Amino acid sequence: MSNREDITSNIIDVLGDMENPKVRFVTREPFDVDKLALTQFPALLVTTGNELREENTMGGNRRGTLEVNIRGFVRSDGRQGFVQSVDQKRNELIERIEETLNTQRDRELNATRAATTHVTTVEVVDRNPPLGEFNMIAEVRYSFTKGAV
């Protein structure tokens, strides 16, 4: 499997196992958020983005910085009281995703492909309640041998 695929698959796996809040729907395929059932929130769309590659040493080792795009959706019923608002749910999910990605920053790559992960961007997308949305970019820096995908 390619380095890009290994990294993205690992991120999908760890986000799918995340708790509090438990992500109910994680996919790589675009979907119509308006057609999701209430039980499928929060939902995440994870896609591989741009990558910057550079020479690391003269021996053929290279370094890549891969952007993984995480688009998150939350839903609130808007009731007052103990139920969270859209903004609260969105903020909680953003924080939990970052904490989850930071738990194992190496993306389970072996020592020759050492990696580190960090969230670089979070953009809140304006939506009418009860839906909330955000875009997050997690950068994964990793090493690889020249010619590897």
What is the count of structural domains for the chain? 1
Provide the percentage of residues in the chain whose pLDDT is more than 70.
83
77/70 Cα distance (integer angstroms): 23
d(CA 31, CA 43): 10
Structural domain boundaries enclosing 44: 3-145
CATH number at residue 110: 3.30.2000.10
Task: Output the pLDDT for position 17.
Answer: 92
For 14-50, write each residue's pLDDT tens digit.
999 999 889 999 999 999 999 999 999 999 999 999 9
